[in-house]
Amino acid sequence: ASIRSAQTCILFLFALATLKDICQCQHQEASDYEYAYYDEYYQESCNHEDFYCDKDNPNIFYRCIDGIHHTFHCPSSLHFSVKTQTCDWPHAADCADHFHGSGPPHYGHSEDEETESIESEAAAASADGPHKGHYDNLAPPSHMEMDHAAIQADPSEMWVSQAASKGKSWWRPKGGLDSGKWQNVASIKRPPFIPHVPDDDDKKEKSSSAGGKKKKSGKVVSAPGKRKEGKKKGKAGSVSHSHGPKSSSPSSSRQRSSELRSGSGECDSSSCRLPECYCPGRVIPNGIPASSTPQMVMLTFDDEVSPTFYGYYNRLFRPGRYNPNGCPVRGCLFVSGSGNHYDLIYPLYAVGVEIASHSVSHRFPHTWWSSASYQDYVEEAVGMRGKLTSESGVPSQDIKGFRVPFLQLGKDNMYDALYDNEFQYDSSMFTGGQWEGESDPVWPFTLDYVPGQAFCQHGPCPTKQYPGLWEIPVQRWYGMDGHSCAMADGCSATGDAEETLEYLKSNFRRYYNSNRAPLGIFVHARWFSSEHTLEGLDMFIDYLLTLHDVHIVTPSQVIAWMKNPTPLSRINSFQPWSCDVGTNDVWLNEKK
Least trusted range by pLDDT, from 116-125, 252-261, 310-319, 336-345: 116-125
Q: What is the DSSP letter of 335?
A: E
DSSP string across 428-483 = --EE--SSTTSSPPPBPEEESS---TTT--SSSPP-B-EEEEEE--EE-EE-TTS-
Contact between residue 58 and residue 80 where contact means Cβ atoms under 8 Å apart: yes
Provide the b/e sequence for 38-60 (b: ≥16 CB within 10 Å).
Answer: eeeebeeebeeebbbbbbeebbb
Residue spans per domain, the chain: 51-88, 290-591
Residue 192 confidence (pLDDT) above 70: no
Confidence of residue 55 (pLDDT cuts 50, 70, 90): confident
Residue 86 confidence (pLDDT) above 70: no
Contact between residue 474 and residue 431 where contact means Cβ atoms under 8 Å apart: yes
Q: Could you give the CA distance from residue 552 to residue 585 in angstroms, rounded to a whole number?
A: 21
Alpha helices per DSSP H over 46-186 = 120-125, 141-144, 156-165
Please choose, from the candidates 408, 404, 453, the residue with its C-alpha nearest in 3D space to the C-alpha of residue 432: 453
Residue 274 confidence (pLDDT) above 80: yes
Confidence of residue 335 (pLDDT cuts 50, 70, 90): very high
Contact between residue 334 and residue 301 where contact means Cβ atoms under 8 Å apart: yes
> Is the C-alpha dihedral spanning 576, 577, 580, 584 positive or negative?
positive
Query: pLDDT tens across 93-149, in order?
Result: 778 765 444 344 443 333 333 333 334 333 333 333 333 322 222 232 233 333 344
Q: Could you give the CA distance from residue 487 to residue 464 in angstroms, rounded to a whole number?
A: 26
Q: Could you give the CA distance from residue 59 to residue 62 in angstroms, rounded to a whole number?
A: 10
Query: pLDDT tens across 532-584, in order?
Result: 999 999 999 999 999 999 999 999 999 999 999 999 999 999 999 998 765 55
E strands in 317-358: 332-335, 354-357
Q: Could you give the CA distance from residue 69 to residue 78 in angstroms, rounded to a whole number?
A: 21
Q: Which of 164-178, 334-348, 487-501 has the highest mean pLDDT?
A: 334-348
Q: Could you give the CA distance from residue 126 to residue 303 in angstroms, rounded to a whole number?
A: 6
Residue 267 confidence (pLDDT) above 60: yes
Confidence of residue 173 (pLDDT cuts 50, 70, 90): very low
SS3 at position 30: helix
Please choose, from the candidates 234, 228, 233, the residue with its C-alpha nearest in 3D space to the C-alpha of residue 248: 228
Residues 6 or more apart in contact with residue 141 via CB below 8 angstroms? none
Q: What is the pTM (predicted TM-score) of this model? A: 0.65
How close are the terminal C-alpha atoms of the chain, in Å?
111
Contact between residue 345 and residue 321 where contact means Cβ atoms under 8 Å apart: no
- The one-letter code for the residue type at 172 is R
Query: pLDDT tens across 348-376, in order?
Result: 999 899 999 999 999 999 999 999 999 99
Q: Could you give the CA distance from residue 258 to residue 450 in angstroms, rounded to a whole number?
A: 16
Residues 6 or more apart in contact with residue 222 via CB below 8 angstroms? 213, 249
Q: Pick the residue with more confidence: 194 or 370?
A: 370
What pLDDT shows up at residue 589? 40
What pLDDT shows up at residue 64? 64
Confidence of residue 253 (pLDDT cuts 50, 70, 90): low
Q: Pick the residue with more confidence: 302 or 221?
A: 302
Residues 6 or more apart in contact with residue 338 via CB below 8 angstroms? 128, 129, 131, 304, 361, 362
Over residues 492-513, mean pLDDT: 91
What pLDDT shows up at residue 10? 59
What pLDDT shows up at residue 250? 45
Q: Pick the residue with more confidence: 68 or 387?
A: 387
Confidence of residue 261 (pLDDT cuts 50, 70, 90): confident
Query: pLDDT tens across 236-251, in order?
Result: 333 233 333 333 344 4
- The one-letter code for the residue type at 443 is W
Share of the chain above pLDDT 90, in %: 48
Q: Are strands 60-65 and 51-53 parallel, antiparallel or unpaired?
A: antiparallel
CATH topology classification for 290-591: TIM Barrel (3.20.20)
Q: Could you give the CA distance from residue 391 to residue 533 in angstroms, rounded to a whole number?
A: 31
Contact between residue 52 and residue 81 where contact means Cβ atoms under 8 Å apart: no
Contact between residue 551 and residue 323 where contact means Cβ atoms under 8 Å apart: yes
Please report how the helices 307-316 and 531-544 are oriented relative to each other, as an axis angle in degrees rounded to 10: 30
| 3-state class percentages of the chain: helix first, strand second, coil last, to nearest 5 | 35, 15, 50
Q: Could you give the CA distance from residue 299 to residue 281 in angstroms, rounded to a whole number?
A: 22
Over residues 177-181, mean pLDDT: 38
Mean residue pLDDT across the chain: 73
Q: Pick the residue with more confidence: 19 or 66?
A: 66
Q: Could you give the CA distance from residue 575 to residue 12 in angstroms, rounded to a whole number?
A: 95
> Is the C-alpha dihedral spanning 71, 74, 77, 78 positive or negative?
negative
Residue 235 confidence (pLDDT) above 50: no
Q: Could you give the CA distance from residue 495 to residue 242 in angstroms, rounded to a whole number?
A: 50
- The one-letter code for the residue type at 203 is K
Residue 180 confidence (pLDDT) above 80: no
Q: What is the DSSP letter of 113?
A: S
Query: pLDDT tens across 420-469, in order?
Result: 999 999 999 999 988 888 899 999 999 999 999 999 998 899 999 999 99
- CA angle, corner 433, sides to 510 and 457, nearest 5? 135
Q: Could you give the CA distance from residue 69 to residue 42 in angstroms, rounded to a whole number?
A: 7
Please choose, from the candidates 82, 95, 104, 101, the residue with its C-alpha nearest in 3D space to the C-alpha of residue 35: 104
Please choose, from the candidates 49, 3, 117, 180, the residue with its C-alpha nearest in 3D space to the C-alpha of residue 407: 117
Contact between residue 450 and residue 263 where contact means Cβ atoms under 8 Å apart: yes
Question: 407: how many CB neighbours lie within 10 A of its CB?
Answer: 25
Residue 154 confidence (pLDDT) above 70: no
Cα–Cα distance list, 173 to 179, 328, 353, 541 (Å): 12, 9, 19, 17
Contact between residue 123 and residue 366 where contact means Cβ atoms under 8 Å apart: yes
Residues 511, 512, 513, 515, Cα dihedral to 10°: 60
Over residues 524-537, mean pLDDT: 92
Least trusted range by pLDDT, from 9-13, 373-377, 406-410, 437-441: 9-13
250 sits in the region (left: phi over 0; alpha: psi -120 to 50; else beta) called: beta
